[in-house]
Structure 1
Amino acid sequence: METIEKLEILADAAKYDASCASIGAPKRSSAGREGIGATNGMGICHSYTPDGRCVSLLKILLTNFCQYDCQYCVNRRSSNVPRARFSVQEVVQLTVDFYLRNYIDGLFLSSGIIRSADYTMEQLVAVARELRETHQFRGYIHLKTIPDADPALIEAAGRYADRLSVNIELPTQDSVAALAPEKSVHTIKLAMGAIRLKLDEKEAEPKAPAFAPAGQSTQMIVGADGSDDKRILSTAETLYGSYKLKRVYYSAFSPIPDSPKTVPLAPPPLLREHRLYQADFLLRGYGFQVRELLPQDGSLALDIDPKLAWALSNREHFPLDLNRADLSMIMRVPGIGLRSAQRIVELRRMRRVRYEDLSRLKCSMKKAAPFIVTADYKPARDGAPSEALRRAMADTQQQMPLWPELAAA
């Protein structure tokens, strides 16, 4: 099979993995010395598919042959799909050639399990090692970690890769046992724990050898099992706290040809994936907890974003006086993002905050107005009922922005 044919198959097979973002890559420069590739502190440029999935970098599988029969996976052992396999040298040469043609700035490499977990991990590490040591490649490298592999191989991967990821795929052990019987949540968490320990060691001893400077991430598939949003986000909350993950990515289940009866035959609403990203951003950046976002119902609202839903359910906190409130509460006002909240606090050290100041800060005034008090503005004393506000604001929530964070305010 020609390399271009393999690339067509193995790039398409990799599109279901959403955890390929490169934010957090360290600065590298090849100026004044041998070497190719460079990233800056904000990551690298991305391109996107029509449905909003990140397809930046050279995003491929080493192979889509796999010993496992995960029911939700297009590359499962029993799936009737074209198969291909790259050699280590082919992946290295593709990465270098694509970079020199200015097509990419880095590599995201995963693989099906062939021969054994150790053998597969050895192949992934060999690609990264040759890029770094032979070609002096300084671009971004993200390697998917095989949980069952020898910890020494995972440690070696961290020496060459900017980021490692161990995909948990499903939020509960029962779901993993039912749909991916060859996998174990316990084994996956052991691998995450080993990566965290190495990251902690590096943080404690800066002169220690580099290890995955952009941290680790994972992915959960949404809609392949019966887990509701509360279960998914609770799992994410635990992973963030226990393993210091940089990101949990969410991928809406996509039915595949000849799908087994153990998985749904229809995909979940893509908007559900988007709402999970918004809620996840609130957990990581705004100080929310899952029990606040989903106190009773196990599903996030689809017609409004999670922050607005929380504010409508907690009207006793509003309207909030922006000239008196703590930063932590200002951040929770719909329409006011993290940076805007910080700038409001800075501004009021000089003078009282006025309504027009929020417009200058590009806050979403349609969402913020019912929930705030400024020096020259307060909403009507009785206020609009929550259901009326929900109906008025719902129509503006259906458009999904490219980056979920941009709509989290």
Structure 2
Amino acid sequence: MNMDRITRKLGILADAAKYDVSCASSGSKRQNKDKGLGNASNGICHSYTEDGRCVSLLKILLTNHCIFDCAYCVSRKSNDIERAAFTVQEVVDLTINFYRRNYIEGLFLSSGIFKNADFTMERLVRVAKKLRTEHNFNGYIHLKSIPGASDELMQEAGLYADRLSVNLEMPTVAGLKLLAPDKDQKDMIKPMAYLKHAIIQNKDEKKLFKKAPMFAPAGQSTQMIIGATPENDSEVLRSANYFYRNFNLKRVYYSGYVPVLADNRLPALNTSVPMVRENRLYQADWLMRFYGFRVDEIVDNTSPHLDLEIDPKLSWAIRNMQAFPIDVNKADLQLILRVPGIGLLSAQKIVSARKFGKLNWEQLSKIGVSVNRAKYFITCNSSQFERRDLTGNNIRQFILASSQSKYLKNNQSQLSLF
């Protein structure tokens, strides 16, 4: 292996892959056997960059050559950049060498489109197949599926990869047509639909036959670019909800648009999507998936954008003050889950603990409840924070002021160290 040449390629193709955020690696249970390499378990160790993006996997493109000319993509064919491409064997060797040095826990492999979808997808599958069959590699593999790839290739990919994902690119068909007129959302939906049915079928087979081969055990995910087109948060979340319900996705990733190319269809180069908007979308996504919130409870026609100052659960609670306060010693789990400052695990602990006696503020704090937030919305076996007649706007201001005070206090503490 010519290391200078490989290092040059790695610099180009790792940099080109940094815009793809859908690289979480949890959810697979591929165990090591026969003294192989690696072990993908629930929760592979992650490292994060300063902006919070996961870099625990070897995250690269197979190539940044592409036949498409998507306005938002740094690898688009009309962009004057240095091009590179790995061979299948080079990616395999890099993965093994990086793993042996304990740099990575697995591989996240995407690609520009060489000639067509099947030509490119076949090479991605060959990388995964070589790692599994020739090197007995049991670490995590996430393949970015190519829109329009055949069912046969998707089937083979699922046998070797832990997770597969097809990027939707834009939240709406109109947005995709504007910035990527050569692409068709139908080509993205086709492999997603195939994966959904294949994963369900595999689960049924595993119930009948213990040794049936695994098929994409960590499921499938997708990614949407936010802010490159004018969709509001309501449209983004409704699109995500549609794909969760109809394609059994594990995750939808929201990638704030990073201006890298000048184009009259795109926001100005000095206009970046605030990181807080991306964070709020993830928080809203969490509420939909784990807390029982409907999209129209989080955002609606009158408030189509998420509040950037406060989180979506607090925003909902302030708009629905008639539902509070609730008595945590009597309320059901679903209602407790809607209280700001009470998370999923804390709510479950409350329901379990109150069987042995009524809970007070001190006990709630020990359970993990953020009392500074929850005190405005609940009552318990104590009058220490007896509820006052506050409006939603009063509560909002108190919480924002408390957060600002805590931020300043932390900064002062850090400065005192020097």
TM-score, normalising length: structure 1: 0.94
DSSP-derived class of the 1:370 partner: coil
Of residues 269, 277, 291, the one that matches 1:272 is 277
Matched, 1:255 2:225: no
Superposition pairs for residues 92-107 of structure 1, below 5 Å? 92-107=92-107
Q: Which residue of 1 aligns with 2:383?
A: 377
Structure 1 residues 396 and 260 mapped into 2: Cα distance closer, same or farther (>3 Å)? farther
Q: Aligned to 1:361, which of 361, 367, 372?
A: 367
Aligned partner of 1:22 in structure 2 is: 25
**Following the alignment from structure 2 to structure 1, what is the Cα–Cα distance between the partners of residues 194 and 143?**
15
Match of 2:314 among 290, 305, 308: 308
Query: Which residue of structure 2 aligns with residue 86 of structure 1?
Result: 86
- Within 5 Å, give how 1:302-341 maps onto structure 2: 302-341=308-347
Q: What corresponds to 2:240 in structure 1?
A: 236
What is the one-letter code of the residue matched to 2:6?
Answer: T
Aligned counterparts of 1:291 and 1:215: Cα–Cα separation in 2: 27
Secondary structure of residue in 1 paired with 2:59 = strand
Code of the residue aligned with 1:35 in structure 2: it is G
- Give the percent of matched residue pairs that are identical in Structure 1 and Structure 2: 50
Within 5 Å, give how 1:383-398 maps onto structure 2: 383-394=389-400
In structure 2, C-alpha distance between the alignment counterparts of 1:348 and 1:167, rounded to whole Å = 45
**Alpha-carbon offset, residue 77 of structure 1:** 1.0
Shift of 1:27: 4.0
Structure 1 stretch displaced more, 177-186 or 152-161: 177-186
Shift, 1:115, TM fit: 1.1
| AA partner of residue 63 (structure 1) | T
Please state whether the residue corresponding to 1:60 is helix, strand or coil. strand
Flag the 1:25–1:381 CA change in 2: closer, same or farther, 3 A: closer
Aligned length: 396
How do 1:28-67 and structure 2 match up within 5 A?
Answer: 28-30=31-33, 33-41=34-42, 43-67=43-67
* Alignment-mate amino acid for residue 262 of structure 2: S
Matched letter for residue 284 of structure 1: R
Q: Which residue of 1 aligns with 2:413?
A: none
Deviation readout 1:9-49 (Å, 9 max, x if unpaired)? 1001001001010110114124xx231111222x2111111
Equivalence for 2:110: 110
State the alpha-carbon separation in 1 of the partners of residues 175 and 136 from structure 2: 42
Larger RCO (CA under 8 A, 6+ residues apart) = 1
Q: How far apart are 1:58 and its partner, in Å? A: 0.2
Instruction: Give, as a single letter, the amino acid of the residue that structure 1 aligns with 2:38.
Output: G
| 5+ residue gaps, structure 1 | 401-409
**Alpha carbons 1:129, 1:160 under 8 Å: kept:** yes
Q: Tell me which residue corresponds to 1:293.
A: 298
State whether residues 379 and 386 of structure 2, in contact with CA within 8 Å, keep that contact through their aligned partners in structure 1.
no
Partners in 2 of 1:340 and 1:326 — Cα distance? 13
Q: Retained in 2: the 8 A contact 1:23–1:44?
A: yes
- Give the TM-score taking structure 2 as reference length: 0.92
C-alpha displacement at 1:388, in angstroms? 1.8
